[in-house]
Amino acid sequence: MVKVATQLVQGTNGSEDDRSGAVVAPLHFSTAFRHPGLGESTGYDYSRMTTPTRDLLEAQLAKIEHGTQAFAVSSGMAAITLVLSTILKSHDHFITSDNLYGGSFRYFDTLRNQYDIAYETWNGQDIDELVLRIQPNTKAIWIETPSNPTMKVIDIQAVASVVHAIRPDILVIVDNTFLTPIYQNPLTEGADIVVHSATKYLGGHNDILAGAVVVKDATLADALRTQLTTTGQVLDPFDSWLLIRSLKTLAVRMRVHTENAQLLAKRLATLAGVEKVLYAGVGGMISFYLAEAYDVNQFLQALTVGSFAESLGGVETLITVPFVQTHHDMPESQRLGLGITPQLIRLSVGLEDADDLWADLAQAIQKAGRV
Ligand SMILES: *Cc1c(COP(=O)(O)O)cnc(C)c1O
């Protein structure tokens, strides 16, 4: 394969079903496909199964994540439910890192309460403690790294090699939304399944809701395909096409997200009013604690460049307070235990000029000082 930036830009162009010579892939809206004859198919029958546009996107997603098969679905949560509803049944057990996207926990609780599927959390750091939690009915390990919102990093390779040495049947699943295949390739590190909220960096423009699942094992791919065809949470042709377009700039976007975030993380760490900065070193996500004497609402009100809004991974800088927004459903004691305090601010650093972003944050923090 060519390098990832080349694959992203050129990998979906010049498709074989278009004789016009267009350098950009066509968009097929058709839900139905003509059959050449009885018992014959072009490979396309009905759009819940697949469409040429979604096919092209899925081939690209599989390539950039180093898998063999990808599934493009209607949201990140659809990707997560596709995976777990395929591989788990009642009385199964799974283990998850303790610092996850809030909606993932909401779904895990649904699995427990409605389907009697148990899960346990693990701190993401001590592999011996992970091994202690493995039970005969454990089917999967769920990892999100860096974690949302406290940016804890988990060693995927260590988890996959230790778990698979003990129990090759346990599936290691990684939510790769934050770093994307530009900075992290879970399948080459030994994971079995990668999921994405493509709403975030893969889409990158705060205008598509989408998700992705990528695997390397053919049997697992068949099981996921059967489940997806049955349940139908596929990505529609237009959003598939938009995502194909968005991916062309992924490598460039991630580079500038990282440059901007590195600069802001460094400067925030020295600013009065900022108690601590959490940053994984790459990617565009930073969290920081405003000092107790600083008013979070005043800080948000004073922002003029970034927006106070949920979501992340887009060209626009977005700022969130996880305690009251993304992680609000978690019991307060659990939030506080994970470091998700009312003073924790999460920053999705966009592609604006870094000096403008810095000046905006610095003035807003200064205004938030309760003096
Ligand atoms: C947003 C997000 C999700 C959920 O994705 P949706 O596209 O909102 O359904 C899952 N995991 C992570 C890490 C996320 O940031």
Q: What is the CATH number of the domain that holds 242?
A: 3.40.640.10
Tell me how far the alpha carbon of residue 43 lies from the centroid of ligand 1, in angstroms: 31
| Nearest atom (ligand 1) to Cα of 78 | 9
Residue 200 bears catalytic tag? yes
Distance in angstroms (rounded) separating the CA atoms of residues 317 and 314 = 7
Tell me how far the alpha carbon of residue 270 lies from the centroid of ligand 1, in angstroms: 31
Do residues 157 and 257 make contact, with C-beta atoms less than 8 angstroms apart?
no
Residue 48 bears catalytic tag? yes
pLDDT band at 17 (very low <50, low <70, confident <90, very high): low
End residue of a domain, out of 182, 214, 248: 248
Judged against a pLDDT cut of 90, whether residue 249 lies above it is answered with yes
End residue of a domain, out of 194, 218, 248: 248
Distance in angstroms (rounded) separating the CA atoms of residues 279 and 1 = 31
Judged against a pLDDT cut of 90, whether residue 275 lies above it is answered with yes
Q: What is the pLDDT of residue 327?
A: 86
User: Domain range spanning residue 287?
Assistant: 252-368
- 205 shares a domain with 151: yes
Q: Among the options 92, 175, 192, 239, which is catalytic?
A: 175
Comparing 135-149, 152-166, 319-333, 354-368, the range with the smallest average pLDDT is: 319-333
Residue 201 bears catalytic tag? no
- 119 shares a domain with 221: yes
Distance in angstroms (rounded) separating the CA atoms of residues 142 and 140 = 6
pLDDT band at 19 (very low <50, low <70, confident <90, very high): confident
- 155 shares a domain with 126: yes
- 309 shares a domain with 189: no
Q: Is the pTM of this model over 0.85?
A: yes
pLDDT band at 7 (very low <50, low <70, confident <90, very high): very high
- 202 shares a domain with 178: yes
Residue 215: which H helix or E strand, with range? strand 211-215
- 236 shares a domain with 260: no
pLDDT band at 368 (very low <50, low <70, confident <90, very high): very high
pLDDT band at 366 (very low <50, low <70, confident <90, very high): very high
- 299 shares a domain with 182: no
- 224 shares a domain with 127: yes
Instruction: Say which CATH number the domain at 303 has.
Output: 3.90.1150.10
Judged against a pLDDT cut of 80, whether residue 16 lies above it is answered with no
| Best residue among 81, 144, 177 to mutate for probing ligand 1, ranked by most atoms within 8 Å of CB | 177
End residue of a domain, out of 214, 248, 282: 248
Query: How many domains does one find in the chain?
Result: 2
| Nearest atom (ligand 1) to Cα of 198 | 7
Judged against a pLDDT cut of 90, whether residue 210 lies above it is answered with yes
Q: What is the pLDDT of residue 371?
A: 59
